[in-house]
Structure 1
Amino acid sequence: MNKTLLLLLFFLGSFAAKENQFIARQGQISFFSYTSVENIEAKNNQVLSFLDIDKKEIAISMLMRAFVFKKDLMYEHFNESYIESDIFPKASFLGKIIDFNPLEEEQTKMVFGKLTIHGISKEVEIKSTIKNTNGNYSISGDFEVMVKDFDIKIPPVLASNIAKSISIKFNFKYQPYED
């Protein structure tokens, strides 16, 4: 996690020195897990993201405790038993947008990068919709992650209550970055 945090800080440090960078201070990420017992879903509206259109790079950082659940017990289990937010408080993504054209009004592009959750980093590719409205960008999309890929332990007695694959959706509305 420290290596990812250092990379994010380096990215942000180089970010302030150039034009054509954008920030989303209240990006949104949600996840959904279908089970036969009870669906689990949560939303986080406090996600920070930076977009550098010259480098075609995106950086995302979020606190895991900022996810809001319908039930307090789900929040507690998520943070204490599964994600272990005291040990792994943040998740991050550093990626590159392939064949991105900043002048197009709307485009669907693949974003390749490193997703870090629960202290584990995995290479992922995410199909994303990118919109340019009068020079302000938005990026949205969805993808699946496997719980086992991020070393999240699920007790055998609860295995049927938690899906093996989690559906993640995201939406970022960027504004020009200013110091």
Structure 2
Amino acid sequence: MRKIVSIVFILLNLSVASAQKLITRNGEIKFEASMPTFEEISGTNNTASCIFDKSTGDIAVLALIKGFKFKSPLMEEHFNENYMESDKFPKATFKGKVLSFDASKTSGTYDVEGDLTIHGVTKKIKSKVSFTNANKKMSCSFSVKPQDYGIEIPSLVKNKIAQNIKIVLDFDLQAK
């Protein structure tokens, strides 16, 4: 009997622990690098992965660089080959923590900080993250400078690309 009680207790703990983790494999990341009066430079990736642990606030995001799609196939090719070197640096990641997350609230805005890795370079970032819909919808935005991540912009097009690139994340999370 004692063995059965122990097994039930372990199973209950496992189900509670897994209920604390939310995940998606089809999150959306958009970036905007356009300058006024020049061609639109933006891409969207609808295959980003995210896992968020409500009990600890830990968060991890992964996006494959080749997953970004553009209006122009030529722009997509230049993005992957000339700027992001996606064969050499195939992914971007964020590993961090949502600070003071309160799982008892169904929505809220929190500080998030962690390590963003793009183009093989890791930098600490801080931003705000919003949760809605019983904490299952997550949105975050921040800006990065290409030169901070070793991304070289040729002088010929330097004035056509924003110095600060806006990145927006939107994730619909599901219980794991």
Q: TM-score range by the shorter chain?
A: 0.7 to 0.9
The code of the aligned residue for 1:29 comes to I
Which residue does 1:144 correspond to in 2? 143
Which residue does 2:102 correspond to in 1? 101
Q: TM-score, normalised by structure 2?
A: 0.87
Which residue does 1:22 correspond to in 2? 22
Whole-angstrom CA distance in 2 between matches of 1:108 and 1:173: 16
The code of the aligned residue for 1:154 comes to I
Q: Radius of gyration: which is bigger? A: 2
Which residue does 1:176 correspond to in 2? 175
Whole-angstrom CA distance in 1 between matches of 2:53 and 2:133: 14
Q: TM-score, normalised by structure 1?
A: 0.85
Which residue does 1:74 correspond to in 2? 75
Kept after mapping to 2: 8 A contact 1:144/1:168 = yes
Task: Give unpaired runs (5+ residues) of structure 2.
Answer: 1-15
Which residue does 2:113 correspond to in 1? 112
4+ residue stretches of structure 1 with deviation over 6 A?
none
Does 2:53 correspond to 1:64? no
Once the 2 structures are TM-superposed, how far is the Cα of residue 34 of structure 1 from its aligned partner? 2.0
Instruction: Give the share of equivalent positions with the same residue, in percent.
Output: 38
Matches within 5 A, 1:120-159: 120-133=121-134, 137-159=136-158
Whole-angstrom CA distance in 2 between matches of 1:73 and 1:87: 19
The code of the aligned residue for 1:71 comes to S
Q: CA RMSD in A?
A: 1.6
Aligned residue pairs: how many? 160
Whole-angstrom CA distance in 1 between matches of 2:143 and 2:43: 15
Whole-angstrom CA distance in 2 between matches of 1:143 and 1:118: 17
